[in-house]
Chains A and B, each alone.
Chain A
Amino acid sequence: MSVPARALEIAHEPVDRESLARIWGQPPGLVGWLTSANHKSVSIRYMITAFGFFALGGVLAAIMRLQLAWPDMHVVGPDLYNQIFTMHGSTMMFLFAVPIMEAVGTYIVPLMIGTRNVAFPRMNNFGYWIFLIGGLMVWVAFVLNIGPDAGWFAYVPLAGPGYSPGKRVDIWAQLITFTEIAALVAAVEIIVTTFKLRCPGMALHRMPLFVWAMLVTAFMVIFAMPAIMVASTMLAMDRLVDTHFFNPAEGGDPLLWQHLFWFFGHPEVYIIFIPATGFVSTIVSTFARRPIFGYTAMVLSLVATGFLGFGLWVHHMFATGLPQLGASFFTAASMMIAIPSGIQVFCWLATLRSGRLVMRAPLLYCCGFIAIFVAGGLTGVMQASVPFDRQVHDTYFVVAHFHYVLIGGAVFPLLGAILYWLPKFSGRMPSERLGRWSFAVLFVGFNLTFFPMHLLGLGGMPRRVYTYLPETGWATGNLLASIGAAILAIGFVIFLVNVVRTLTRGAPAGDNPWGASTLEWATTSPPPPYNFAYIPTVDDHDALWSATDRPVVTGLRDDVREILVSDAIDATPDHRQHLDGGSIWPFLTAVGAGIGIITAIFTPWGVTIGAILCAITLTGWFWPRGEPSGEARTSA
C-alpha cells in the first residue's frame, strides 16, 4: 500500500519538536494525571475507566444469568436482584455506553480533523473526574447495600418518596447528575472541536464519517440529556423537599416522569448507536480498500436519524393508555427511522461488495455487527406496531431486542474499533489470531445468550423478575441463555488477553499499518503530545488516499500552545488561538461539585455547598496568572 504516511511531516522550515512535546505534554506521574490537558491521555483514562465499569456491569449480568438459569434459584434474593438489575442497566448506559463513545471520540476526532487538541482541554479533564466520582459513588453505595433498586428507568411512584424510602433512589438521581454533566461537557467539547479546529481544506463535506457521527451524537446529547437532568432533579426534590411533580394526590403526574425519561431515553440509544456507525464506516472503508459508497447518503442518514430519534419516545409507553391516533403517529415515526438505518446498512454492503476485501479482525466485528444489528432492527420494527408491542412490552422479547441493537449494534463495532485503533493508541499490533477467536466466541455466545430470550418473551416471561415458577415452561430458554452468557464471558476474556498481549509484546505498528485514509494515521503511533508537527491540509474525506503532496501549515508557534482555528463550514484558516495548559483546578472543581452533589443526597444545603465550592474553584480555574500566551499585554 502506497500511503504517504510520513510525507506530511517534511516541510520548509523545521519546527522544534522537542519544544512542541514539552508544551503540549503533561508532567510525569500523579501530577500529570490530575492536571492533564492532553486529550489523548484523558481519553485513554476515560476508556479504561469505562471498560472497568463495563466489566463490573458484566459481572452483574453473570449473577443474574446464574439466578435465572433454573426456576426457583436462590443465588440472590429479590432485594439484591433488584439492585443488581438496576445497577446493570445504569452502569451499562450511564457509565459505559455513552462515556466510552465520547472517550473514543475525544481521542480520535482531534486527530482525524488534524488539530493539536480539543477546544477546551481543561473542561475535558474536568468531565473525566466528574464521571469517575459519579461512578465510584454509585458503586460504593451498591457495595454498602444501598445501591439503587428502582430500575435504570426509576418509574414513579415506585421510585418516589412513598415506595422507595431510604437513600437508594437519591443515589441513582445523583448518579444521573454526575454522568449528565460529564456527557454534556464532552458533547460541547466535540461540537466546538469539530466546528472550529478542522485543518484547512476539511470543509463539512470532506469530514470523515466518524467525525460526522460524533457531531450528530454530540448534538443529540445536548438536546436529550437535559430531559433526564430535569426529571431526576424533580425526582430528587420530590424525595428531599416534598415537592409534588409526580405526586398524583397534589396534581402531579406519574406519566410526566415517563415522558421526560423517554424523551431522553430513546435518543439515548441512538447516542450509543450512531458513534458505532462511525466506527463501522471507518473500518469497512479501510478494509474494503475503497472510499465508502454513498458518503452523502450516509451523512444525510446520520442527520435524519438524529432528528427522528427525538420523535419516537412514546413507543415506550404504548401500554399506558394513550389515545390511539397519537400512538399511530409514533408507530409511523418508529418505523420510519428504519429507513436511514437501512440506507446505512445497504451502503456498507455495497462498499463491501464492490471493494477489495482484506479480512482482518476489526472487519469481522463489523460484518458480525451487520448481521446482528439487522436482526435487532427488524424486531424493533415489530415493536413499533402498537398491538404487538402491547404483547411483548416489558418481556424478554424486548430484552433480546435491545441487546441485539446495543451489543450487536454498538459493542461489536466498538470492539472492532478498539482493535482497529489499538495500533494508534499503543504503537503495537494486536494479534490477528486472538482477534478472530474473540470474535467467533463472542458471536456464538451472544446469539446463544440473547436469541432464546425472544422465545421467552413470546412465552410470556416478563422482565425484572428475580425468579420464576417451574410450571411456566421458561427453564430451557433460560438455561440456554445462561450457557450463552458463559461463552460470551470467555469471548470477552480472550479479547482482554489480546489487548494486554498487544500492549506488552505486540509487534511495532508503524504510522499506518492498515493503509487507512484518515488523518490520525498521518502521524506516529502513538501520536506525539502535539499530534502533528505540521497541521496537514486536505482536499478529500479520504485525505491520505488522495493527493500525496498537499501543503502543510506552517507559522503556528512551537514555543507556546497555539492552535489553528478555522471556519465552521469550509474550514478556511481564521485565526491562531492560545490554548490553556494543564491545571489542577479542573480536578478541584470536580471534587467541589462532587462534594456538593453527594451532600445533596442528604440535605438541600448540598446545593449551596456545591455552588460555593464550585465558585471558588472556578475562580481559581479562570483567574489569569500570567502564563505565557505569546500575547502582547495592554498595560493598565
Chain B
Amino acid sequence: MLVAFSLAGCSGLPVLDGGGAAGDRIAGHWRLHLWIALVVLIGVVVFLLDAMRRRATGAAGVLRPDAASERRLTVGVSVAVGLTAVALLVLLVASVATGRSLGILGAETPAVTIEITGRQWWWDVTYWDPVPAHQMRTANEIHIPVGQTVLVKLASPDVIHSFWVPALNGKQDLIPSRKNTIAIKADRAGTFAGQCAEYCGLQHAHMRLLIVAEPPEAFQAWLQAQRQPATPPASALAQRGHDVFVGGSCVLCHAIVGTEAAARTGPDLTHLASRAMLAAGTLPNTPGHLAGWIVDPQSVKPGTRMPANSLGADDLQALLAYLGGLR
C-alpha cells in the first residue's frame, strides 16, 4: 500500500504529471503532503504493531498504571501532538503559499480569452475577440498556445458543471447565475484530456473535452481557419448532403456558419471535420462513428439531447460527405 503510494509520487498520472506550471506546483505541493503522510502513517503502524506484539504477561488482572509510567506516556503523547501541530502548520503555510502562486499565475494578462458554457452534456466554446466578427464558436475541443496564459470564462445555463483539465490546473465550477473564471497555461505542446467533474445528470460520464496545446504560430493558424465560414460543398454528393442538412431537422439545433443553419442549442458544426472527437469526447471522429451517432445517438449516449434521425442510406452518405468536408 505504501509502496503503491510512493509509486504514485512519480508515475504518469495527469494530476501529478502536469503539462503546465500550475499543475506542477500543485503536484509538488502534494508530494510534501505525501511524504509527511507516509512518515506519520508508517510511524503509527509500526508503533501499533509493536504494541500488538506485546501480549499479556503474568497475571491477567486489571492494570493499575503507576504515576511514573503515566508521566512517560504523557510526555510521549504531548510530543506526538506537538509534532502533529507543527506538521499541520507547515502544510497550512505551504497550502496558502501554493494558492498564492497559483493566483499570480492566474493574474497574468491573458493572451487568449475563451468563454465556455457547460450544457447537458457538452461544452459550448466561444473564442472571444474585441472585434465581434472575429469571435469564433466551436465545441468540445479547445486549442491553446503553448507558454501563454489563457483565461477561461465559465457559465452554465442549465445545471452545475465543473471544468477540469487535470494536467493543467484544478477544477472550477460552472454555476448558473455566477461568473467564474480560471486561467490555464500549457508549458509543452500536447493533447490533454478534460472533463466535467460535477455530477450533471444522465450523461455526466460522457461530458469530456480535449485541450490541444500547440506552438503559438500553429495556434494562430488554427484560429484563423476556425474563423472562416464553412467550406462550400465540393461535390454533388456533398451538395446533396448540404441540402439534407438545411432541409431536415439538423438546423433546428445546429449552426454552420456560411449556411442558413444558425441555431445555437447544439454544438456549432462549422468546422466539425477538424475536431478529433464526437459527442463531447465519446467517439473518435470517423465517418463510421459519425454515421452511427447521427442515426442512433441514444444507444451511444443514452439520454443525449440529440434525437435519432432516420435517414435513407443515400441521404446519410451525402450528409457524411458534406460534414466530412467541413474542415
Contacts and interface: CB of A to CB of B under 8 A. Distances in A.
Contacts of B41: 371, 374-375, 378
B199 A155 contact: yes
B6 to A, nearest CB: 12
A513 interface: no
A606 to B, nearest CB: 27
Interface stretch (A31-39, A319-327, A597-605): A319-327
A347 interface: yes
Interface in A466-506: 466-469, 472
B30 interface: yes
Nearest to B17: A458
Of the listed residues B8, B95, B169, B302, the one surrounded by the most CB atoms of chain A closer than 10 A to its CB is: B95
Interface string A366-386: 010011001100110110111
B160 interface: yes
Contacts of B180: 320-321
Nearest to B301: A78
B173 A321 contact: yes
A27 interface: no
Interface string A149-170: 0010001011000110000000
Nearest to B198: A394
Interface in B176-217: 176-178, 180, 193, 195-205
Interface string A205-223: 0000000000000000000
Contacts of B65: 290-291, 293, 354
Contact of B195 (A77, A358, A462): A462
B80 A346 contact: yes
A465 B51 CA distance: 42
A459 interface: yes
Interface string B73-90: 110110011001100100
Contact of B26 (A349, A387, A394, A515): A387
Those 5 A-B pairs whose CB atoms lie nearest each other, nearest first: A390-B170, A248-B177, A465-B205, A385-B95, A378-B37
B84 A466 contact: no
A371 B45 contact: yes
A292 to B, nearest CB: 10
B102 A387 contact: yes
A289 interface: yes
Given A249-B177, A339-B88, A390-B171, 5 more contacts: A293-B73, A319-B198, A395-B197, A447-B1, A459-B15
Contact of B60 (A82, A289, A320, A324): A289
Given A319-B172, A353-B51, A359-B52, A79 B197 contact: no
B98 interface: yes
Contact of A331 (B1, B95, B158, B178): B95
B92 A370 contact: no
Contact of A388 (B4, B33, B92): B33
A157 B159 contact: yes
A158 B158 CA distance: 8
A349 B302 contact: no
A354 B166 contact: no
A449 to B, nearest CB: 12
A392 B162 CA distance: 12
A466 B282 CA distance: 13
A525 B213 CA distance: 71
Given A254-B176, A371-B48, A384 B81 contact: no
A632 B307 CA distance: 79
Given A163-B159, A289-B56, A321 B172 contact: yes
B199 A464 contact: yes
B57 interface: yes
Interface of B: 1, 4-5, 8, 13-16, 25-26, 29-30, 33-34, 37, 40-41, 44-45, 47-48, 50-52, 54-57, 60-65, 69-70, 73-74, 76-77, 80-81, 84-85, 88, 91-92, 94-96, 98-99, 102-103, 120, 158-160, 162, 164, 166, 169-173, 175-178, 180, 193, 195-205, 281-282, 302-303
A454 interface: yes
Given A163-B159, A339-B85, A385-B33, A254 B52 contact: no
B14 A460 contact: yes
B205 A467 contact: yes
B171 A454 contact: no
A412 B197 CA distance: 30
Contacts of A349: 44, 47-48, 51
Interface in A55-81: 77-79
Contacts of A255: 175, 178
* Residue among A335, A388, A459 having the largest count of chain B Cβ atoms under 10 Å: A388
A374 B38 CA distance: 10
Nearest to A472: B193
A10 to B, nearest CB: 22
A332 B13 CA distance: 28
B103 A324 contact: yes
A460 to B, nearest CB: 4
A163 B16 CA distance: 35
Given A291-B65, A391-B26, A158 B200 contact: yes
Nearest to A301: B81
Nearest to A374: B44
A527 interface: no
A76 B180 CA distance: 35
A515 to B, nearest CB: 7
Nearest to B201: A158
A513 to B, nearest CB: 13
Contacts of A460: 13-15, 164, 166, 193, 195
A263 interface: no
A297 B70 CA distance: 13
B1 A468 contact: no
Contact of A356 (B37, B63, B70, B99): B63
B196 A254 contact: no
A416 to B, nearest CB: 14
| Most chain B beta-carbon contacts within 10 A, residue among A291, A293, A319, A339 | A319
